Amino acid sequence: MSGLLEVSGISVTFDGFRAINNLSFSIGAAELRAVIGPNGAGKTTFMDIVTGKTRPDEGRVLWGERSIDLLRLDEAQIARAGVGRKFQRPTVFEDQTVAENLMMALKAHRSPWRVLLWKPAAADHARVEALAVQVGLGDSLSRKSGELSHGQKQWLEIGMLLAQEPRLLLVDEPAAGMTLAEREQTTTLLVELAKTHAVVVVEHDMDFVRRLNCKVTVLHEGSVLAEGSLDHVTANQQVIEVYLGR
Ligand SMILES: Nc1ncnc2c1ncn2[C@@H]1O[C@H](COP(=O)(O)OP(=O)(O)OP(=O)(O)O)[C@@H](O)[C@H]1O
Ligand SMILES: [Mg+2]
């Protein structure tokens, strides 16, 4: 197996409607990938399948050097195996500071018996600080999360995700609701993260996708319609018809 995640021939049907149709997808251990496509193309459902939230009717999802079958694991086991997912709505604790939120994420990452006895050590405080710096919140450690801008909350949530040391990050529409400056900083963050992680980004904002400067997978009716550079896929006649020319 070449990639970190190898999805092959998955299909899922909801009430007779085929939302994912013989979809195959592969991503390397340090790779950034944008997934685009019209509403209802199956982008979120694809992430639901990889994270174990939705079970495909057929196909395979293999993970890591030992080709672990993710379809045999539940959501918690898949998360522990190294698949992290960032949801669109930030789920940070608004009354807690940035540092407290990150520390909680670090704590949640420990095994249950350790959580009982767990007290943050100097190394944990250092890790919290490093995570904050990594997501651009190094100056905001003691701020209440509720005071952060929408974009900053999204970065905090990415930091909380990183506390769990995922190898793959699935990020669904991160740019929604962000200012242009926040969107630009988010691209920089995702590009940086993809040097050491596999990162899959679903996004409709084409300027955002262009700045990611990565391979693009176009989904349509639950299948891959085109794959390649953004210039390559946006020149594809079918892609223009189903997505860009709307
Ligand atoms: N749990 C479900 N039950 C029934 N139908 C579903 C379910 N989840 C998704 N669908 C349907 O599957 C199709 C694919 O939806 P999905 O949310 O994956 O699309 P998407 O590409 O993420 O679209 P968008 O760009 O609007 O977010 C849609 O027609 C949707 O209505
Ligand atoms: Mg979606």
Tokens describing residue 148: 């952060």
CA distances from residue 34 to 42, 124, 170 in whole angstroms, order as listed: 14, 33, 10
| DSSP states along 4-51 | SEEEEEEEEEETTEEEEEEEEEEE-TT-EEEEE-STTSSHHHHHHHHT
Nearest atom, ligand 1, residue 37 CA: 21
Q: Ligand 1 centre from 40 Cα, in Å?
A: 5
The residue behind tokens 């045999």 is 72
- Pairing mode of beta strands 17-27, 198-202: unpaired
Residue nearest to atom 16 of ligand 1 (CA): 42
Residue 99 Rama label (left phi>0; alpha psi -120 to 50; beta)? alpha
pLDDT at 107: 83
Nearest atom, ligand 1, residue 38 CA: 25
Q: What is the pLDDT of residues 124-180, one digit of tens each?
A: 999 999 999 999 999 999 999 999 999 999 999 999 999 999 999 999 999 999 999
Q: Which ligand is nearest to the Cα of residue 54, counting in written order?
A: 1
- Contact (Cβ atoms closer than 8 angstroms) between residue 83 and residue 37: no
In angstroms, rounded to a whole number, what is the distance separating the alpha carbons of residues 18 and 144?
44
Whether the full predicted model's pTM is greater than 0.85, yes or no, is: yes
Per domain, the residue ranges of the chain are 5-244
In angstroms, rounded to a whole number, what is the distance separating the alpha carbons of residues 245 and 229?
18
Q: What is the pLDDT of residues 49-93, one digit of tens each?
A: 999 999 999 999 999 999 999 999 999 999 999 999 987 666 799
Q: Is 211 in the pocket of ligand 1 (CB under 6 A)?
A: no
Nearby residues of 79 by Cβ (< 8 Å), 6 or more positions away: 51, 85, 164, 166
Q: What is the CATH architecture assignment of 5-244?
A: 3-Layer(aba) Sandwich (3.40)
Q: What is the pLDDT of residues 97-106, one digit of tens each?
A: 999 999 999 8
Q: Is 33 in the pocket of ligand 1 (CB under 6 A)?
A: no
**Residue type for 54, please?**
T
pLDDT at 117: 66
Nearest alpha carbon to residue 187 among 222, 215, 155, 226: 155
Residue nearest to atom 27 of ligand 1 (CA): 39
